[in-house]
């Protein structure tokens, strides 16, 4: 799923499960510091990782339920980097 957060920033929105699978492939041959330090991550892949939490209210006649979703957003600062990432990893 792809959305645009800002005019210059491109964002890829993934579920937590999709991110786990992708992260295993991305980090297989890289040092742990690349995963933990955001500027190294941006330097290596062209994006920073952002956790996004969404709450949705579902109403029915009997009760009210809250649905809680967690998204992982990959924020790219360069459209070319986002396109290259999509072609290579998705």
Alpha helices in the chain (DSSP H): 16-27, 32-36, 38-45, 79-89
What is the predicted pLDDT for the residue at 8? 67
Q: Which residues of the chain are modeled with pLDDT < 70? A: 1-8
pLDDT digits (tens, 9 = 90+) for 51-63: 998 888 877 777 8
Question: What was the pLDDT predicted at 37?
Answer: 84
pTM score, two decimals? 0.76
Distance CA 65, CA 56 (A): 8
């Amino acid at each position: 799923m792809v959305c645009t957060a800002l005019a210059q920033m491109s964002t890829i929105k993934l579920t937590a499960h999709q991110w786990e699978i992708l992260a295993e492939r991305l980090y297989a041959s890289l040092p742990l510091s690349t995963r933990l330090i955001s500027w190294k991550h941006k330097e290596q892949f062209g994006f920073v990782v952002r956790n996004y939490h969404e709450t949705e209210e579902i109403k029915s006649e009997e009760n009210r339920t809250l649905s809680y979703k967690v998204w992982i957003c990959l924020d790219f600062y360069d459209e070319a980097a986002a396109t290259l990432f999509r072609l290579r990893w998705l």
